[in-house]
Structure 1
């Protein structure tokens, strides 16, 4: 036997041993819960503190109490020798093609929606277990002890998801399992999931705007741009909104409470036009987010003559600020650039809070690139409960195409 054949045989044998070891129960102990307050809060905070707001108990408690339709949460803590080493936050959803998209129009070949259509019957609800948060962009569902090696941490996540899936048989089968969202570092770190029948799926990039250290206010951001892009923002976005008598500012908790139903209508107007919408929030969600406090969550409203035309939820997490959910009046948006003006208010909010980067998500790639956002490659892990369907998903999702962000640099060299 040649040296190369022996080396290949050894590699295949090592891979089989690793796969077998990963598929066995770990040496960890677990605590599971359907409410964040039922777990040991000190242990959760010990692991989640450096992951900020989106892994905090306050945030997940707010989600629990928001009354989202077809939406539940699950939590787990993993222990090694009595010490907490992993915290996992999960969401349980019921989805169908009808709930994920309002308009059952044509599906471009190779699109994510086309791939989903091959695996979801239009009228049939599928149950989806997500490690992470369908309302955010990033790996916001797992936190680990610093000394836990990658193989052990992701074996722990896989075992937690397996145990939840088995326990949920009392309420009906879980059809899909997702682990989201992975940047390139997290994808490499979590590659052990590939040995456990998970398939990786690349999604649209997450658009992220880095804020220069010497930018303190919004005018500093504009001053950093070339005259072409700076003038376009002033003339095409700010000027028409101001000329129409619109004002924009942070909404008080009292305003949010009074305007919650109006905000929900504006949000749904945007959601109804979305390509994918696995989760739709409720009117009470806006109240719960506002209750997190202005140091962590801002709802910025755009008003004209006392009427709310649009708003943006901004989540503040230290150096990182997220432009989360948005809503605006579609009729008014035919005349005014409400969407873009609301995006720019996230930059104002971030700079006022001392943020150093703004997360803008995976939609409207070109307008966000013109703002200076850079695309961050993003992927997720997906698995179906049935081995045969899992193989089909590997092939169908393997050809999914996504839009690429254009290369634009609006800033001075």
Structure 2
């Protein structure tokens, strides 16, 4: 690597270079505003660092890392109380509880770094590998030994750049795909979308809307989010604890901070029966994209009212009406998301265990802990 290349690790957004945001112009999730939010409202078991990459003294790359202590979380959720889950939790806590992620573990997609044209891609990756080693050494000194280092959510085109000796000891893996909904140029209104789907899926839409009778939906202001804060957290935890895998839980005031900081770029929708909050979803405007963020709901209402499916239709309607180009629906609930028209996009990751012996067997261990997900892809369009 050219000696002109260097990196700087920052533990506070306050210390970032003044021109940081010029490299975050295409991704809100690398902007100072968003990173500041992470600093003040990240989950308790997560420590964030912000990385500047330089040629001489010129900032040419920015990145995010997250150190996650999984021993603070029941990682495999409360839904599956079987022997395998218990074995997985014990193995995780003893062998893989401290994870260093180069990227953002709270989102789906490549939101971990951005390079200017002056920084060759592979040079940027070599620097980030050095950053991972440096951070590993720092955490080791604090008696928080890094077990796993992960480069997260790499696209099909980007993964080729990692084919260099420095990443040879990393295990390449795929998990659940990112579900992305592309908005066609011919759709000017939500009705155009409904017209483009087949009768079977129009019937699904009508059935969902009929079931949702009696539910009112409204966009919540900062004051209203504060007012419903306890109930919001309760609904979020109801969903989170039933997830098959968790690496963190959001703190109770997380959404308040988001609305306060991101203002109109952060949308919070509450779903009510009478004046009782039964569910919510959140969206973040990211340039031409809409990213779905966290949601929550009352499980009984969700089943009776097809609430989750109705939320998906609402997100699609909003995004079409406001002229966005795509919705990042992220992972989980793959089949229902594909039933409304989202397409699966494969994402890759790279992982390395700090113990060379365990690292040698990491592919076998990964396949045991992460069984292949069976799901049926749908195509709702005519």
Identify the TM-score tier after normalising by the shorter chain: over 0.9
The Cα shift of 1:327 comes to 0.1
Output the CA distance in 1 between the equivalents of 2:196 and 2:162: 37
Where does residue 158 of structure 1 map in the other structure? 129
* Number of residue pairs the alignment of both structures matches: 379
In the alignment, which residue of structure 1 is the partner of 2:209?
A: 238
Structure 2 CA distance, aligned partners of 1:261 and 1:346?
A: 24
TM-score by length of 1: 0.86
User: Alpha-carbon deviation of 1:67?
Assistant: 5.2
3-state SS of 2:228 partner: helix
Give the whole-Å Cα distance in 2 for the aligned partners of 1:192 and 1:35.
Answer: 31
RMSD: 2.3
Where 2:9 maps in the other structure, the secondary structure is: strand
Distance 1:310 1:144 in 2: 38
Choose 196-205 or 399-408, whichever is displaced more: 399-408
Q: Which residue of 1 aligns with 2:101?
A: 130
Look up the match of 2:25.
49
For residue 351 of structure 1, the aligned residue among 315, 320, 334 is: 320
Verify: 1:305 aligned to 2:274, yes or no.
Answer: yes
Tell me the CA shift for residue 85 of structure 1: 1.9
1:410 corresponds to: 380
- Report the CA distance between 1:81 and its aligned residue: 2.1
Instruction: In structure 2, list runs of 5 or more residues that go unmatched.
Output: none
Q: Secondary structure at the match of 1:204?
A: coil
Q: Paired residue for 1:39? A: 16
Q: Deviations over 1:353-374 (max 9, x none)?
A: 3211111112111111110111
The SS at the match of 1:164 is helix
Are the aligned partners of 1:67 and 1:284 in contact in 2 as well (CA < 8 Å)?
no
1:286 matched to 2:258? The reply is no
Residue in structure 2 matched with residue 322 of structure 1 by the alignment: 291
TM-score normalised by L of structure 2:
0.92
How far 1:119 sits from its partner (Å)?
4.3
Q: Cα gap change, 1:94/1:182 in structure 2, threshold over 3 Å: closer, same or farther?
A: same
Q: Which residue of 2 aligns with 1:16?
A: none
| CA distance 1:115–1:367, shift in 2 (3 Å) | farther
Take 1:285 and 1:97, find their aligned partners in 2: how far apart are those partners? 18
SS in 2 for 1:96: helix
- Unaligned regions of 5+ residues in structure 1, if any? 1-20
Distance 2:183 2:253 in 1: 32
1:225 is aligned to 197
Question: Is 1:61–2:36 an aligned residue pair?
Answer: yes
Match of 2:66 in 1: 91
User: What is the rounded CA distance, in whole Å, between the counterparts of 1:197 and 1:357 in structure 2?
Assistant: 35
Matches within 5 A, 1:106-117: 106=82
- 1:141 equivalent in alignment to 2:106: no
Query: Contact 1:201 / 1:379 at 8 angstroms: preserved in 2?
Result: yes
Q: For 2:161, which of 172, 189, 206 is the aligned residue?
A: 189
User: What is the rounded CA distance, in whole Å, between the counterparts of 1:367 and 1:155 in structure 2?
Assistant: 39
Alignment deviations for residues 52-109 of structure 1 (CA, whole Å, 9 cap, x no partner)? 211111111112111521111111111112211221111111103952123252377x
The SS at the match of 2:74 is: helix
Q: Which residue of 2 aligns with 1:71?
A: 46
Cα 1:369/1:55, change in 2 over 3 Å: same
- How far did residue 302 of structure 1 move? 0.7
Shifted more, 156-165 versus 285-294: the winner is 285-294
Matches within 5 A, 1:241-390: 241-242=212-213, 245-390=214-359
The reply to whether residue 100 of structure 1 matches residue 70 of structure 2 is no
Q: Which has the larger radius of gyration?
A: 1
SS at match of 1:283: coil
Partner Cα distance (2:7, 2:305) in 1: 53
Give 4+ residue runs of structure 1 displaced > 6 Å after superposition: none
